[in-house]
């Protein structure tokens, strides 16, 4: 870029050169983000002979359908539990000032547990409710019996519990700004007009927070649907949910052609997450009209 080109650009003539500066970034993302995504898309609608919807159709039966149903159940249950309990926790800490120790500690812990739990959380719950676990042993000591651990820990109910453990912190992080956005003046205004606390929440607070709450619930759903590490570490065999079925498809050496079915499963996952995230960002826009 020479010094004579700059004034020219300012006069309205658009030099193509500045845009070229973005090329390294765009090329990098094309290779490592766009190409893998397109590979999944193309792989899902192909078989060895060319275009075919066989793999997409296979999503509708047998293990793939059961896994999808279980995944949706797991994501819905953990999203609802996480959203409700997370909203309660956010409401508990929003009452204390932003600089209070309680609020700082809770937020820091939420930041860590929401994003960096991964396989550690699986181990934590096995150490709690598994064979010889802390709570298992305590229960066996009090009520008698063997500390064998709860059998459902490695099944869907266990996954819901473990997922809720990282969903609540995420809800706190996402929902706290909306709660903070509730202006005290609105409450005062309602009170001046004679509203009780319950009436304020019923007619003002909850309607204002509803889009934010729904949006956050959707985000939690997508988060659970796309999660892999915790489930993979907890359930080492079998594939009760879609992410683990993708693992089986990728690592299975027994059934040839399984790996290619992974493309269809991955596409299914992307579509579900993308639809949910689109709804989330639509709700986010509605929220920001009032609570910013």
Of 180-239, which residues contact another protein (CB under 8 A)? 222, 226, 228-229, 232-233, 236
Q: Is 40 in the site for another protein (CB under 8 A)?
A: yes
Between 30 and 183, whose beta carbon lies closer to another protein?
Answer: 30
Binding-site size, another protein (CB under 8 A) = 72
Instruction: Give, as ranges, the residues between 105 and 124 that touch another protein (CB under 8 A).
Output: 108-109, 111-113, 115-121, 123-124
248 in Cβ contact with 239 (< 8 Å): yes
Between 19 and 52, whose beta carbon lies closer to another protein?
Answer: 19
DSSP 3-state assignment of 228?
Answer: coil
Contact track, another protein, 81-110, x by CB under 8 A: ----x--xx--x--x------x-x---xx-
Using CB under 8 A, which of 64, 67, 82, 125 touches another protein? 125
Q: Is 263 in the site for another protein (CB under 8 A)?
A: yes
113 in Cβ contact with 165 (< 8 Å): yes
With left for phi above 0 and alpha for psi between -120 and 50, is residue 132 left, alpha or beta?
Answer: left
35 in Cβ contact with 207 (< 8 Å): no
What are the residues whose beta carbons fall under 8 Å from the beta carbon of 197, sequence distance 6 or more? Answer: none
Min dist CB 141 to another protein, Å, is 14
81 in Cβ contact with 161 (< 8 Å): no
Instruction: Give, as ranges, the residues between 138 and 177 that touch another protein (CB under 8 A).
Output: 165, 168
CA separation for the pair 132, 134 (Å, rounded): 7
C-alpha angle 237-240-242 in degrees, rounded to nearest 5: 110
Min dist CB 281 to another protein, Å, is 10
Using CB under 8 A, which of 53, 134, 189, 206 touches another protein? 134
CA separation for the pair 81, 87 (Å, rounded): 10
Q: Is 56 in the site for another protein (CB under 8 A)?
A: no
Between 122 and 208, whose beta carbon lies closer to another protein?
Answer: 122
Min dist CB 43 to another protein, Å, is 7
Q: Is 55 in the site for another protein (CB under 8 A)?
A: no
Helix (H) or strand (E) holding 50: strand 50-51
DSSP 3-state assignment of 122?
Answer: helix
Min dist CB 228 to another protein, Å, is 5
Min dist CB 55 to another protein, Å, is 12
CB atoms within 10 A of CB 77: 20
Q: Is 135 in the site for another protein (CB under 8 A)?
A: yes
Q: Which two tokens stand for residue 157?
A: 């109910």
Q: Which stretch binds another protein (CB under 8 A): 20-28, 55-63, 182-190, 208-216?
A: 20-28
Instruction: Give, as ranges, the residues between 270 and 289 that touch another protein (CB under 8 A).
Output: 270, 273-274, 277
Using CB under 8 A, which of 5, 98, 127, 189 touches another protein? 127
Between 117 and 205, whose beta carbon lies closer to another protein?
Answer: 117
Closest CA to 187 of 171, 198, 177: 198
List, as one string, the DSSP characters of 130-152: STT-HHHHHHHHHH-S-----GG
What does the chain come to in residues?
292
Using CB under 8 A, which of 12, 24, 97, 184 touches another protein? 24
């Amino acid at each position: 870029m020479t010094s004579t080109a700059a004034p020219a650009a300012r006069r309205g003539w658009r030099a193509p050169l500045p845009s070229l500066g973005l090329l390294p970034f765009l090329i990098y993302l094309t290779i490592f983000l766009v190409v893998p995504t397109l590979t999944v898309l193309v792989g899902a609608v192909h078989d060895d002979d060319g275009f075919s919807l066989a793999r997409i159709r296979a999503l509708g039966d047998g293990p793939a359908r059961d896994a999808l149903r279980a995944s949706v159940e797991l994501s819905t249950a953990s999203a609802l539990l996480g959203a409700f309990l997370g909203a309660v926790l956010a409401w508990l800490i929003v009452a204390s000032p932003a600089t209070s120790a309680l609020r700082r500690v809770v937020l820091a812990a939420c930041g860590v547990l929401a994003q960096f739990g991964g396989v550690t959380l699986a181990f934590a719950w096995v150490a709690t409710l598994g064979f010889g676990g802390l709570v298992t042993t305590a229960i066996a000591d009090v009520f008698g019996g063997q500390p064998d651990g709860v059998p459902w820990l490695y099944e869907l109910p266990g996954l819901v519990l473990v997922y809720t453990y990282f969903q609540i912190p995420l809800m706190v992080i996402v929902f706290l700004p909306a709660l903070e956005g509730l202006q005290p003046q609105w409450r005062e205004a309602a009170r001046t007009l004679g509203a009780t606390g319950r009436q304020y929440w019923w007619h003002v607070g909850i309607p204002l927070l509803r889009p934010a709450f729904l949006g956050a619930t959707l985000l939690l759903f997508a988060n659970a649907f796309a999660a892999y590490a915790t489930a993979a570490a907890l359930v080492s065999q079998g594939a009760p949910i879609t992410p683990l079925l993708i693992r089986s498809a990728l690592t299975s050496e027994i059934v040839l052609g399984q790996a290619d079915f992974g493309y269809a499963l991955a596409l299914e996952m992307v579509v579900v997450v993308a639809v949910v995230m689109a709804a989330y960002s639509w709700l986010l826009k509605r929220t920001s009209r009032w609570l910013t």
